[in-house]
Amino acid sequence: MALIKGKKRYWLAGAAAAAAIRYAIRRRRIYDLYGKVVLVTGSSHGLGLLLAREFANRGAKIVLCDNRPDDVERARIDMVKRGATVLAHVCDVTRLEDVKNLISVVRKHFGDVDVLVNNAGAVQSGPMQDMRIEDYEDAMRVHFWAPLYATLEVLPSMRTRKQGRIVNISSLSGKVSVPYLLPYSASKFALVGLSEGLRTELVADNVFVTTVCPGLIRPGMSATGEDEKTSEEDEWLALSESFPLAATSADSAARKIVEATIHGDAEIVLSVPARIATIARALFPEPVSDTMALVNQALPTTSSACEQPDEEPLADASSARSLQR
């Protein structure tokens, strides 16, 4: 009995020491956002806009970036009304030349980018047999190549100055592949691998990369102050509203992401169910895979219920309403 109690004390002491060390490291890495230039892609609405607002609340200069001119302008007006120092730019982040031009404009207006948030995203949904090669290519362009383009453009300055933050908004689907989201999941897995690899190589330059993996997110507010909702996302929105305890509010997600950025955290998985799913997948891959297979069998065999209109452009605007980020 005495031996067991002794071991228990050692475990508690070890845990306390580990917690103290982590606390000290996080405090040492605290990054003051006041006056910093923060570029958020896909920031005309949804989670991106909420992130822009939260960074602005910490005194940062904000660069809004999206590929829809009207949405960008509405977001700019919203930010100006809130007293933010803001630059709005129309850009398709899946095009390298557009990204190069964006960074050039930012440098002329504000100076070098201090914080890059790769938030732009798009969702392709449906059974595997209905997915086209183009769906996979589009997903990779938005979720892998776009973050890589932006990162490579801002990195030289960050490494020279020995300071900076890069935040990659992936998804729970970048940890656990979900049925009917295969192109999306594959591209988010790619982003997680890129993000984690970048972090290990850039810490030596005092540039910290944070990987964000949200699960279900409840909708935020648009620039007009109305609940965000579009017809092609009704089903995803209904799902998040059906499981309110499993979903994180978009406002709460934005605050937690900004805090993780300030402390230079390696990874943040939003919502308790998402963390449980991530741990379960790491520890018990076979049972989780079997569970996903059962979920797949329960889903409809065609994607007609969740197809997006053919005219919908390649989304450069992340939404806080999607099933997964």
CA distance 130 to 101: 36
CA distance 295 to 292: 5
* Residue 50 and residue 117 in contact, taking contact as beta carbons nearer than 8 Å: no
CA distance 187 to 192: 9
CA distances from 181 to 98, 140, 194, 206, 274 (A): 28, 13, 20, 35, 16
Report the half-sphere exposure of 19 (CA within 13 A, side-chain side).
6
CA distance 111 to 303: 46
Q: What is the DSSP string of 215-232?
A: --EE--B-TTSSBP--GG
Q: Which one is catalytic: 23, 149, 180, 184?
A: 184
Find all residues with CB under 8 Å of 158, minimum gap 6, and list them. Answer: 112, 113, 114, 164, 166, 202, 205, 207
Burial code of 278-303, b = ≥16 C-beta within 10 A, e = fewer?
beebeeeeeebeeeeeeeeeeeeeeb
* DSSP code at position 94: T
Note if 23 is an active site residue.
Answer: no
Q: Which residues are catalytic?
A: 184
